[in-house]
Structure 1
Amino acid sequence: MNENPEIGRSIQTGPLATNYHDTGPAPEPVDGEGGTVLLLHGSGPGVSAWANWRNQLPPFARHHRVVAPDLAGFGFTEVPEGQEYSREVWLRQIVDLLDALEIERVHVVGNSFGGSMALALAIHHPERIDKLVLMGSVGIPFELTAGLDAVWGYEPSEAAMGRLMRETFAYDSSLITDELVASRYAASTRPGTMEAFASMFPAPRQRWVEAMAHPEEAIRGITAPTLLVHGRDDQVIPLSTSLTMLELIDDSRLHVFGRCGHWTQIEHGAAFTELVLDFLAE
């Protein structure tokens, strides 16, 4: 029996063997309460669906079926040799996963890079989306921050991971234990992981901000009820991105957490979970 909590189930999605977590009650039709929640992780080094969402999986699963995949190049999803990475590749993987699991519609929660992919699903496959939650989301053009440059430019060492987690991701560095740094560093150096990560966002990195952005008119066309969540003190993705999306998406609302960096789901985990569950239950 596998004892690594990051490894869930595996399913074939096109050329990829997607590692994903699937938990919670059988969903009701996605017209009201219940339904399936799709969780899309961020793009930090060593990230996986479980690392990103471990605190949300149990409480979300009390109300919803929850599906949380490792996107290609991250976690324990297996990719063919020479795999290239792009928004199109990740979107195809997400749609293939929903098809393979015979899930017609989802609430989708996207964190940072995962927010851009949640937007992509809402824009290109609106019939698959019920409600949309975007947390510290990429998806519109902005000037590359020093924080995001540091995240995407990470070169493996435990010291570098510690600086990234304590000085860039979190507002309150006391939340970041040595054990957490060590485990995330170990995850970032698994065979193949760093090679995949280094190939995704090479310098100059402003072009990858643009590549993960969506046309303004496409975002304006989103009709799904949308909850935007952002840390006021986010050094990776500026708060201005969520303020802009609040203007662009007609049926949207924004919740800003003070004394919070880029890891809302960790720094304000209980409040974030309650906020999202209340929104999905409306």
Structure 2
Amino acid sequence: MGTIPTSGVQSRELTVAGVRTYLRRAGAGRPLLLLHGLGASSYSWRFALPEFARDFEVFAPDFPGFGRSDKPRDFDYSIAGLHAWLIALMDALGLQSARVAGNSMGGVVALWAAMETPARVERMALLGTPAYPENRPRALWPLGWPIIGRVLEAMLGETSLRWMAKTTFVDQSKVTEELIAEYGEPLKSAAGRRAVAEFIRHAVPADCRERVARYREVSQPALVLVGESDQMVGPAGAERLARDLPNARFVCVERCGHAPQEDAPERVNALLAEFFR
């Protein structure tokens, strides 16, 4: 599996809400949580970890079901379930509150945390975050269908990963064999494939419309960042979120796709540094 380009990053495992959890940590200072997207892992923050370790104690976990963390069959892979796990992680790390950056699925969990447990989120950067039902990954919706969804779940693997990477990244030089190996390894197991499918099946909560209406109640400072070529959220979807959040700033990054922290790391790190410092 992939490596993080710095000797200052430590890896550890801890049990969170009954799940063996893999975590990358670097630096010292105010806490900063980095949350990855669907099908990714803490590896997606490899360019950010050494940058922010200069000013923060940075934590980049693998969500249950992803990366090197365990993938229990009975885990609740809904947004609510991942949020509950995130709060348990913060408790395990002794973090009363933190700055939070989340990409895609990680951004959705960060936004949920800001709404449900506002005292735990000081400020948040939402990168390529599908905050509305119409922004959720339509290409993956069939995973939630009866019968055919199970068939498609079994087919998740390197071929589908390479297709997703092609549509996710503008800078195709970032799609290295190391990246494919890192994100492809969990899909070799039925448990890893199931975690992806289960999140998709629960990606739009029954009360989604009510939650969208509550975005205007979120008071934390927010940076809503999107890649100009993000095929899932798009600039329009992100700009809508920035309008709905009372204390948000909108930024669109040129020549960048759905994973800005990987696709354009230098520019995105600078924007995040300005926001978090």
Equivalent-residue separation in structure 2 for 1:126 and 1:179 (angstroms) = 37
Q: What residue number does 1:124 align with?
A: 116
Evaluate the alpha carbon distance shift between residue 17 and residue 164 of structure 1 in structure 2; reply closer, same or farther with a 3 A threshold.
same
Please give the alpha-carbon distance, in whole angstroms, between the structure 2 residues aligned to 1:72 and 1:111: 16
- 2:55 maps to 1:63: yes
User: Does 1:23 pair with 2:26?
Assistant: yes
Partner Cα distance (1:151, 1:165) in 2: 18
Equivalence for 1:163: 163
Q: 1:116 to 1:179 in 2, by over 3 A?
A: closer
- What amino acid maps onto 1:36 in structure 2? P
CA contact (8 A) 1:147 1:235 kept: no
Q: 1:164 to 1:272 in 2, by over 3 A?
A: same
Does residue 101 (structure 1) correspond to residue 93 (structure 2)? The answer is yes
> How far 1:226 sits from its partner (Å)?
0.7
Task: Give the equivalent residue in structure 1 for 2:65.
Answer: 73
How far does residue 80 in structure 1 lie from its aligned partner after superposition?
A: 4.1
- The partner residue of 2:228 within 232, 254, 267 is 232
* TM-score, normalisation: structure 2: 0.84
Question: Match for 1:258 among 243, 254, 260?
Answer: 254
Q: 1:163-221 CA deviation, whole Å, 9 max, x = no partner?
A: 2211x11123343234433443234214631233233324xxxx624569561332111
Deviates more, 1:189-198 or 1:152-161: 152-161
Count residues in correspondence: 263
Determine if contact 2:41/2:183 at 8 Å carries over to the other structure: no
Q: Is the 8 A contact 1:134 1:227 kept in 2?
A: yes
In structure 1, the residue matched to 2:104 is 112
Cα distance in 1 for partners of 2:275, 2:78 equals 30
Deviations 1:64-110 (A, max 9, x none): 00111111211222254432321221111111111111111100001
With normalisation by structure 1, the TM-score equals 0.83
Offset of residue 11 of structure 1? 1.9
Aligned position for 1:30: none
- Give the drift of 1:270: 0.6
Map of 1:38 onto structure 2: 33
The correspondence of residues 43-54 of structure 1 with structure 2, limited to 5 A, is 43-44=38-39, 47-49=40-42, 51-54=43-46
CA distance in 2, matches of 1:143, 1:4: 29
Residue 7 of structure 2 is matched in structure 1 by none
Cα RMSD, aligned residues only: 2.6
Q: Secondary structure at the match of 1:192?
A: helix
* 8 A Cα contact 1:148 1:236, kept in partner: no
Moved more, 221-230 or 3-12: 3-12
Decide whether the 8 Å contact of 2:2 with 2:182 is kept in 1. Answer: no
Larger proportion of helix: 2
Structure 1 residue 216 and structure 2 residue 216: aligned? no
Counterpart secondary structure, 2:89: helix
SS of 2:133's equivalent in the other structure is coil
Counterpart residue type for residue 230 of structure 1: V
TM superposition shift of 1:151: 9.6
Distance change (3 Å), C-alpha of 1:263 and 1:74: same
Correspondence for 2:148: none
Task: Give the distance between the partners of 1:61 and 1:41, measured in 2 at CA.
Answer: 17
Q: Secondary structure at the match of 1:208?
A: coil
Larger mean CA deviation between 233-242 and 173-182 belongs to 173-182
SS at match of 1:171: coil
Residue 257 (structure 1) shift: 1.0
Say whether residues 1:13 and 2:16 are aligned partners.
Answer: yes
Cα separation, partners in 2 of 1:260 and 1:215, compared to 1, 3 Å: same
Partner SS, residue 110 of structure 1: strand
Match of 1:186 in 2: 185
The CA deviation at 1:160 is 2.7
Q: Percent identity?
A: 27
1:5 and 1:171, CA in 2 relative to 1: closer, same or farther beyond 3 A?
A: closer
Structure 1: runs of 5 or more not aligned = 28-34
| Contact 1:147–1:236 (Cα < 8 Å) also in 2 | no
